[in-house]
Amino acid sequence: MDWNTDVLSHGWDGPVYRVRTPRFEVVFTGLNAEEDLHDVANSDAEVRLPDGSRWSATFVTVAEVERLMAKWAQTGEALDGTYFWCSDGLIVRDPGIHSMTEVLVGLLAEGDLTHILKRLVENS
């Protein structure tokens, strides 16, 4: 993915960071404007496809999982840090909004995005 040509727009939209590509839009939440977007190690995301479907992921880097588990070993959370779990977790190697967006581009290209991410359903 070439960030300069494959990304239609990106930037802060109120409290969220929004990235638009030709094939999807993703909204990253849980960030703050002072945070370096290249260093983001943990973020919730909602992906919207052109068909209107919405998909959820919690991006977490391998290093962030290790950091959290070490912290929990001290605080007693998660059985003293012996496990890590989140319902829509997607563990990635590299930090940053750019890297996370590249993972989504790859998942969509491979046809795996809708198998890996959790579908969000509309309440009626």
Q: What's the first-to-final CA gap in the chain, in angstroms?
A: 37
Per-residue pLDDT tens over the stretch 15-70: 999 999 999 999 999 998 888 999 999 999 999 999 999 999 999 999 999 999 99
Average pLDDT of the chain is: 93
Name the band, by pLDDT with cuts 50, 70 and 90, for residue 4. Answer: low
Using DSSP, state whether 96 is helix, strand or coil: coil
pLDDT of 6: 78
The answer, yes or no, to whether residue 94 has pLDDT greater than 80, is yes
Q: Residue 95 corresponds to which amino acid?
A: P
pLDDT of 11: 93
The answer, yes or no, to whether residue 5 has pLDDT greater than 90, is no
Name the strand (E) or helix (H) holding 58: strand 54-61
In the chain, what are the helix, strand and coil shares in percent, each to the nearest 5? 35, 30, 35
> Which is more confident, 2 or 70?
70
